[in-house]
Structure 1
Amino acid sequence: MTPPQLLSIAVITLMMAAFIWGRFRYDLVGACALLLAVAVGVVPFDHAFSGFSDDIVIIVGSALLVSAGVARTGIMEAAIRRFAPNVRQVRMQLLLLVTIVTVLSAFVKNIGALAIMIPIAFQFARRSKVSASVFLMPMAFGSLLGGLMTQIGTSPNIVVSRVRQELTGESFTMFDFTPVGATLAAVGIVFLVFFYWLVPRRERRDGSINEALDIANYVIEAQVMAGSAVLERPVSELLEMAGGEAVVTSILRAKQRRITPLPDAILREGDVLLIEGSHAALDRIVARARLSITGGRDSGEAESPVAVEGVVASGSPLIGWSAESLALFDRFRVNLLAVSRRGERIGERPSAVRLRLGDVVVLQGSPGKLPGVLRDLGVLPLAERLVLLGSLRRGLPPVLILIVAMVATATGALPVSVAFFAAAVAMVIFRVIPSREVYSAMDGPILVMLATLIPVSDSLRTTGASDVLADWLAMVGHGLPGWGALLLILAVAMAVTPFLNNAATVLVVAPIAAGFAQSLGYRPEAFLMAVAIGAGCDFLTPIGHQSNTLVMGPGGYRFSDYPRLGLPLSALVLLVSVPALILVWPLH
């Protein structure tokens, strides 16, 4: 090996060790690896930042934004109520999620199938009171397995079909991949459902001030309208919509008559409900039950109103006054939507509560005027944390945007990167995602990690280290039986994928595999299929496939978490693939 080749392997080895150690955040590890690769000369200066323009970075960032847009609509809550109203057992929830993602991934881009199901995973997690990390990694792995089933399911299948066309004059067809791919998908789903407990239960930690400002429950006032989903339904059904995370403290009927909110109390049109819970639970219950927040009057502004949490500070003119007595909306054009007081349950309507120092309030108003009003009222915003409570919901546009993007990629009308970037821009244009929330939704650390690692990983190819490793492979494989040679090719493709990306793995390994097969006197089809399977099955790292990267931030995963579930799944794929390939694609 030449010095540049040795240095490239050394940099990647150190990088992997740092990831596994987990002492530093993954974007910092990626940045340091890039600087080291540039310093030792394996990444040229003019290619150091080429990763920031790579399609993978665009795809992951856009998919995160599109997924956040779909999550805001509340349409996933409706889907759960319609198709899986009583699924509460974690294993059954996981079976449903993984199966849907796997099947969808056979026909649309796997990252698109995964993106649309991530909000449902969070809903299931809240319903069953487990961490979303239980669902997200198995779903990502299911999306990879689903891509193995058809020619369009994943890019390695398309590339390997082209390689076969060049070698033999005949390409693989759409469903040539299905017998082996479907077998692996079925076995993989069973494994993921029964061994999900291998996934570490993580909670996303941003390390921000938001963790220290964990606010107690709010009280809001909401009215049952003619079109409410809970009209003439019992209180217990309303509470189910919040997943048990909110309570109705009082029901106000005509002429201010208070009704005890027993579970079997029937809700009538015009009932005013005092509901207590976290802002996330209150947002869900208002959206799903189609209630009207009675404290929210229309200011007539052109901009969509926003709601912000804030603390009543010392010297605030709100102290000792209620929103009602202060005529808050008429004077300041802001609505008081909710109130929280630590250590005390509030039994009054929010508009009637006399505010005290330290009370936490949710104020709604124009995004252009709200900062000034907060200053005038002596309310300190909590780390600018925006809440969805009382915000406008746009259900149809984001779903249509996602469907158009997925159809465009499935039919080949647009590249995946262009389709999802256009979808992300459309989410902002149609105000599905407010412009102030765009960059937080895209998860910057994940994108930086990807962008820095792309040129580092590519140094294996540019220095020729991958060619040297391929030559060693050919030398080792000549003494093996047919099944052993096939297993070796599959294992190598699986091991190389995290560092070359899956399409590049096929381009590098497939010609070697075909020549290797012919030198041993075997037909090349099984070996080419093995390369496609190996390149499509990166279960060991978050960087080999964008689906794995997509769930890393939302799931709160560490780099070292992936092999815990991924290593036994990789071994299972190796064990099942070889006999299945030999059966479907005979070696002789």
Structure 2
Amino acid sequence: MMSVTADQIIVFVILILSLALFIDGRMRYDIVALLALCVSAILGVVPWTQTFSGFANPAVITVAAVLVISRGLLNAGVVEMITGALMKVGKRPTIQVSALTGLVITLSGFMNNVGALALLMPVGIKMARSSLVPVSILLLPLAFGSQLGGMITLIGTPPNLIISAFREEHLGQAYAMFDFTPVGLGVAFISFLFIALIGWRLVPKRTGPGSLDDFFTIQNYLTEIRVPPESKYAGKALREIIKATNAKITIIQLIRGSFARPVPYMYERIKADDILIVQAALDDLKKFLLATGFQLEEHVTLDRETIESGDRILMEGTIRADSPALGLNVRDIDLRAGFGINLLAVARQGVLLKERLNDIRFQAGDVLLLQGTEGALREAIKILGCFPLAERGLKIGEPKRIIESVGIFAGTIVIAALGIVPVQVIFTLAALLMVLISLVPVREIYESIDWPVIILLGAFIPVGQAMEETGGAELIASTLLSFQNLLSPVILLTIILIVTMLLSALINNAATAVLMAPISFSIATGLGVSPDPFLMAIVVGASSAFLTPVGHQSNALVMGPAGLKFGDYWKLGLPLEIVMVIVSIPVILHFWPM
């Protein structure tokens, strides 16, 4: 067995601490990666001249370009056109799961998988409501399917691009566009059959916040109160009333006879028999009623039509894992002053939060109910880092441009598959072309790129290379190879696949690929066999983050809307991963023999 050097110890300590921070989750993964890179450079295991070389890696450039191209396809209405037919598939869960999961697998093979999921989530929620199927039964398979599709092509997910760039660096030739397809398609197809026929029955039946026919139940968090003629506050301005009572309430709407004013002006004078629709915690509401003498209108049933008066609409959105709003509360963001919108409710893991809205700190997967104008909501969801869960009048896409977008994308795929132009160059060119013909407006170029993933890749790739260049990967491989009398190459391949799956459930799958690539390559070299089956095992394992909600953005995104709990994921995820291990090994060895 090899002796351990000081540089190897430094690299292992940095990687172990990085893994701990990745799993802990309180520090965002791109910050962890940058911290690991800086420490590696300062301690000398990454040369100064190579500190930021990861940002020039073809995988990083291609990921950014693919994200811009995905935005172009979305803007053109390609996905909307395809998903329109889904609402006609019927109300049987098996058919609904099959249609949604099959479509997201297909889309995720050629576009950003989180983007594909975000487009189909509202469809899944609507299907669940209309057919009285628990939301979780449709959304969890949808999240898993978005990851399965990533295995099918080179551009399906960042780990594939990382593995391809790694192969080019070590063997002189990258993987082509469809080199992943025989293995990826085979594994994804068997996994799809398992989910559609058996797997969805293992998903806990959760309905998400609110009732099946409405995502949020209005009367759960909004209250209607009347101003009686005898109240001493009748005739006073709202501002005076709020200040005098020190009220911690949000006034959503003022109703005076047949007239309704959403978000009334604070200097508006309240008259006798006015009705105020307010949002408040129970204790705050009691204090306000006691101080003002206003009366609770318990016999009135509020509905969306009441709240969506004038140009004000309601919209549900779920917070992304990379949202800048994570850890912040309403006061920090100042939604009302900054955007002119109201936050009416927050749900987490399917439960409406009862604490004061101003005190809630946002987490990934939280579902927000927002009220405002269409334009204000459009801007707010961008700033908050949310995906809309219901259209609510927010129209997306330009169907007339579908031919242009599909033509550019198809041409790019053909050129990349033929190897005429390097993948990173042709996809960057395609992204620029979509910008030049205004499929992607200039203002949306940088909005469409998932910057935390780009930073993670650029920062962590040199750290992974340091593990290889210091001999750390070879040390791990030689330790495993010392048991090769007991462990055959096939068993070692299976171990690599399972370890990659377990890591992907805990940390970002791109970081998993960066860590596992040099280790698997060293094992293959030590065995004297082709490294391709080992690299393919990483591709499959990195797209199999099915055990927890933290391993992949898709899992986190459906947690709130589906009302899922942390322990719900493995109930489908573990059987699915077992099926994938059983299927993957023979499929990999058939198409990529040792």
Indicate the TM-score class for this superposition, using the shorter chain for normalisation: 0.5 to 0.7
In the alignment, is residue 533 of structure 1 matched against residue 537 of structure 2?
yes
Amino acid at match of 1:400: G
Which residue is equivalent to 1:323? Answer: none
- 503 and 71 in structure 1: CA distance in 2 versus 1, 3 angstrom threshold: same
Write the deviation string for residues 408-431 of structure 1: whole angstroms up to 9, x where unpaired: 323323333223322332332222
- 451 and 428 in structure 1: CA distance in 2 versus 1, 3 angstrom threshold: same
- 584 and 409 in structure 1: CA distance in 2 versus 1, 3 angstrom threshold: closer
1:399 Cα shift? 3.1
- 420 and 89 in structure 1: CA distance in 2 versus 1, 3 angstrom threshold: farther
Write the deviation string for residues 517-549 of structure 1: whole angstroms up to 9, x where unpaired: x6xxxxx57x8535523444314669xxxxx87
| Distance in 2 (alpha carbons) for counterparts of 1:420 and 1:561 | 39
Which residue is equivalent to 2:120? Answer: 121
Which residue is equivalent to 2:270? Answer: none
| Distance in 1 (alpha carbons) for counterparts of 2:180 and 2:443 | 47
Which residue is equivalent to 1:545? Answer: none
Which residue is equivalent to 1:287? Answer: none
1:14 Cα shift? 0.9
Amino acid at match of 2:152: G
Task: Give the root-mean-square deviation of aligned CA atoms.
Answer: 5.7
Which residue is equivalent to 1:395? Answer: 401
Pick the aligned partner of 1:422 from 429, 433, 436. 429
| Distance in 1 (alpha carbons) for counterparts of 2:86 and 2:146 | 22
| TM-score, normalisation: structure 2 | 0.54
C-alpha contact (below 8 Å) 1:311/1:382 kept by paired residues: no
- 82 and 490 in structure 1: CA distance in 2 versus 1, 3 angstrom threshold: closer
Write the deviation string for residues 216-265 of structure 1: whole angstroms up to 9, x where unpaired: 9x99xxxxxxxxxxxxxxxxxxxxxxxxx987999xxxxxxxxxxxxxxx
- 391 and 584 in structure 1: CA distance in 2 versus 1, 3 angstrom threshold: closer
C-alpha contact (below 8 Å) 1:34/1:48 kept by paired residues: yes
In the alignment, is residue 30 of structure 1 matched against residue 33 of structure 2?
yes
| Distance in 2 (alpha carbons) for counterparts of 1:164 and 1:462 | 12
Amino acid at match of 1:469: I
| Distance in 2 (alpha carbons) for counterparts of 1:175 and 1:410 | 9
Which residue is equivalent to 2:47? Answer: 44
Pick the aligned partner of 1:15 from 9, 14, 18. 18
C-alpha contact (below 8 Å) 1:43/1:456 kept by paired residues: yes
In the alignment, is residue 99 of structure 1 matched against residue 110 of structure 2?
no
Which residue is equivalent to 1:513? Answer: 524
Which residue is equivalent to 1:351? Answer: none
| Distance in 2 (alpha carbons) for counterparts of 1:469 and 1:569 | 28
| Distance in 1 (alpha carbons) for counterparts of 2:461 and 2:593 | 37
Pick the aligned partner of 2:152 from 134, 146, 155. 146
Which residue is equivalent to 2:73? Answer: 70
| Distance in 2 (alpha carbons) for counterparts of 1:51 and 1:213 | 48
Which residue is equivalent to 2:456? Answer: 449
Which residue is equivalent to 2:442? Answer: 435
1:188 Cα shift? 2.0
| TM-score, normalisation: structure 1 | 0.54
Percent identical across equivalent pairs? 22
Number of residue equivalences: 420
1:552 Cα shift? 7.8
Amino acid at match of 2:542: D
| Distance in 1 (alpha carbons) for counterparts of 2:40 and 2:98 | 42
C-alpha contact (below 8 Å) 1:494/1:538 kept by paired residues: yes
In the alignment, is residue 477 of structure 1 matched against residue 484 of structure 2?
yes
- 94 and 384 in structure 1: CA distance in 2 versus 1, 3 angstrom threshold: closer
1:474 Cα shift? 1.6
C-alpha contact (below 8 Å) 2:54/2:460 kept by paired residues: yes
| Distance in 2 (alpha carbons) for counterparts of 1:176 and 1:69 | 25
| Distance in 1 (alpha carbons) for counterparts of 2:436 and 2:180 | 41
1:11 Cα shift? 0.9
1:114 Cα shift? 3.9
- 55 and 214 in structure 1: CA distance in 2 versus 1, 3 angstrom threshold: farther
C-alpha contact (below 8 Å) 2:500/2:512 kept by paired residues: no
1:466 Cα shift? 0.7
